[in-house]
Amino acid sequence: MKRIAVLTSGGDAPGMNAAIRAVVRGGLEQGWEVFGVRQGYAGLMGGDFVSLSARDVGGIIQQGGTVLGSARAPEFKTEEGRKQALANLEARGVEALVVIGGGGSQSGAYALSRMGFPVVGVASTIDNDLYGSETTIGVDTALNIALEAIDRLKVTASSHHRAFLVEVMGRDCGYLALMAGIAGGAEVIVLLEVESDPEEVIETLKAAYRRGKAHAIAVVAEGATNNANELMLYAQENQKRIGFDLRVTILGHVQRGGMPGAFDRLLATRLGVGAVERLAGGEHGVLMGLIRGEILATPLDEAAGRKKPLDLGLLEMARVLAK
């Protein structure tokens, strides 16, 4: 093998740049030329390649986001789009590809692998719903950003004896909301995986005041049927009966843009190096992830399109501890 390429796809996650750096420098150590593909699968189809040296990835380990960029590429879901991507790889003599991203990205990696091209995936998504890795790149940083926001809002909530709804990212998975709610000591956690009733949410917040608490916090996943805006609307319509003020803070993309913490830098580095080592050993068609503290490979045909279930037993634990 003489040439490999690396791309980032899907939503950006803190630590992606550390993974890019690891793949590039690990590949160069093998004596390979390494190309970066700009704008994910869109760049792969458009031929947006750039040769990367060790110096090109210097100083990026601490940066959030991805220096290679990411973009939606619905055309890649077609056979014609994937054939164009393969033609661009072959035209540059690229013999293998490393894909850093989440579920949709790894489904794309699997599609290329099925067409006979060597691909290794690297697990990266703040949703932490990707099968094949206990924790994915970006989760720890995003969780800590959400937790800091909750801690700060508690101060204001206590000062004014108010209730706050804090909406965190998680369109298709409630992992961040669940973990941020537990770590932040929230009175209520609303997930898309569990049906919620607005009246029950409000009643739980009221019960916190009756127990003598100076504040009440509800952490809500953005993908929940009753998200923060829906709950706020319900509270406004029933304000006289409820009897307390309710404020909403939607964290949104601020969670994804943070400087990666130590855990995500280390995880991304280990996964990137692991991807290179697998390719050097002639192995591909796998996803690199963290399993029981080790960097291990899961076949892409097992990981692609498969979501990791949320441990809903933790929701009951959170309910008990909130009292």
**Domain locations in the chain as residue ranges:** 3-138+260-303, 140-257
Residue 80 contacts residue 111 (beta carbons within 8 Å): no
Instruction: Return binding residues.
Output: 11, 21-25, 72-73, 125-127, 154, 162, 169-171, 185-187, 211, 213-215, 222, 247, 253-256
Tokens 């390429």 sit on residue? 5
H/E element, 233? helix 228-237
Task: Tell me the longest C-alpha to C-alpha distance in the chain.
Answer: 71
Question: In the chain, which stretches have pLDDT less than 70?
Answer: 160, 214
Helix (H, G, I), strand (E, B) or coil at 14: coil
Report pTM.
Answer: 0.94
Each residue's pLDDT tens digit, 255-291: 888 899 999 999 999 999 999 999 999 999 999 999 9
Contact 107, 305 (CB under 8 A): yes
Residue (of 170, 165, 143, 146) closest to 224 by Cα position: 170
Q: Which of 12, 127, 129, 264 is catalytic?
A: 127
User: Cα dist. 210→215, 230, 265 in Å?
Assistant: 11, 24, 44
Tokens describing residue 249: 């803070």
CATH topology of domain 3-138+260-303: Rossmann fold (3.40.50)
Say if residues 61 and 31 touch (Cβ distance below 8 Å).
Answer: no
Look up 12 and say whether it is catalytic.
Answer: no
Q: What percent of the chain has pLDDT over 70?
A: 99
Residue ranges of the annotated binding site for ADP are: 21-25, 154, 185-187, 211, 213-215
Residue bearing tokens 């690990």? 26
| Digit-coded pLDDT (tens) for 101-159 | 999 999 999 999 999 999 999 999 999 999 999 999 999 999 999 999 999 998 887 77
**Mean pLDDT for all residues in the chain:** 93
What is the domain class of 140-257 according to CATH?
alpha beta
